[in-house]
Amino acid sequence: MEREGSLRALVLSFVLIASFALVELVGGILTNSLALLSDAGHMLTDALSLLIALVAQYLALKVKGKGMTYGLYRLEVLAAFVNGLFLLGLVGYIILEAISRFENPEPVRGEMLYIAVAGLLVNLFVGYILLKHSEENINVKAALLHVATDTLGSLAAIGAGIAVKFWKFYLADPILSVAVALLILPSAYSVIKEALRVLLESAPSHINTEELENEIKKIKGVKDVHDLHVWSITPGTEVLTVHIVVNDTSVCDRVLREVENVARKFGIKHTTVQLEREGYACAQFCPLSSGKLHHHHHHH
C-alpha cells in the first residue's frame, strides 16, 4: 500500500534527521560554530515537520472508521503552527547572536567542517528517500521541501567550515549563519500563514468562494444560495456547507449530485447541503443569509 510505503519513508527520514540534528547541535556547541547551530536548528524543525507529516499519515491510516468527524486532523495544523513560531524564534536568536559576533569575533574550531559535510550527506540521502514518495502525498512533499532548504543550510555550514579551517576567517561563520536564518524565514512565514488560515476557518486560498457560489446558482432548479461556507479541517481536506433554495422538491437528488460535482471541481470532497423550499423561514430570519457577513455559522 502506497500510504504505508510513504509512512516507512517518513519514519526513516525522521530518525535520520532528528539524530543528526542532535549531532550538529552538540558539534555546534563544541566547535563554537553558529553556522552549525543554525543548521542544527533548521534540521530540528525539519525533524518536527517530518514528525507532523508522520503523525498525520499514521492517523490517516488508522482513524479510517471515524474518518471525517474532525477529531485529530487539526493536531497536524496546530503542530505546524507551533513549528512555525519555533522557526521564527530560532531565526531571531541566530541573527542576534551573529550581530554580537560581528562586534567581537569568536574563534571557531575547524572540525565543524567534518560535521557539516556529514550533515550534507544525511540530507541528500533523506532527500533521495522522500523523492520516491513525494508524488503520492502532500505531507511527504512538504517534508521534501524542508530537506531541500536544509541541504542549502548544510552547504552554508560547509562554506563556513572551509573558511575557518583553511583561512582562519572566523567571520564567515556568523555571515553564513545569517544566510541560513534567512533561508528559514520564508518557510516559517508560509507555515504560520497556512496554519492560521485553517485555524481561523477562513476559506482556503485556492478556492474562490464567489465563483463557487455562481457555479452553484447556475444549476438548473436552484433559486437561490445562501450561507455558503468553505473551510479546511487540514490543508487538502476542504469542507463546504451551503443552503440552497429550490422551488420544486422533486429536483432535490439531482441538485445534490450537481452541487457535489461543482464542489469536486473546486477540490472539495466533503459537502453538506441544506435544501429549502421557497418561503422556508430560514431565508427571512437567517441573520447571515444576506451573504454580507462572512461569519462561520452552522445549522445543526
Residue 281 gets the label, from left (phi > 0), alpha (psi -120 to 50) or beta, of alpha
Q: Region 115-128: what's the mean pLDDT?
A: 93
Which range in 88-97, 181-190, 281-290 is most confidently predicted, on average pLDDT?
88-97
Closest CA to 200 of 231, 239, 226, 240: 231
- Give the count of alpha carbons within 13 A of 272, CB side only: 11
* Lookup: cell for 31: 566547535
Q: How confident is the model at residue 190 (pLDDT cuts 50, 70, 90)?
A: confident
Structure confidence at residue 296 (pLDDT) = 43
Q: How confident is the model at residue 293 (pLDDT cuts 50, 70, 90)?
A: very low
Question: Under CATH, what is the fold of the domain 2-199?
Answer: Alpha-lytic protease prodomain-like (1.20.1510)
Q: Which CATH number, 3.90.1720.10, 3.40.50.300, 3.40.50.720, 3.30.70.1350, labels domain 209-285? A: 3.30.70.1350
d(CA 131, CA 206): 25
Closest CA to 181 of 51, 45, 29, 15: 45
* 133-147, 151-165, 245-259: least confident range: 133-147
Give me the residue spans of the domains in the chain. Answer: 2-199, 209-285
- pTM above the 0.85 mark? no
Structure confidence at residue 290 (pLDDT) = 45
Structure confidence at residue 289 (pLDDT) = 45
Q: Which residues contact 191 (CB under 8 A, 6 or more apart)?
A: 49, 80, 81, 83, 84, 87
> 40 pLDDT exceeds 80?
yes
Structure confidence at residue 286 (pLDDT) = 53
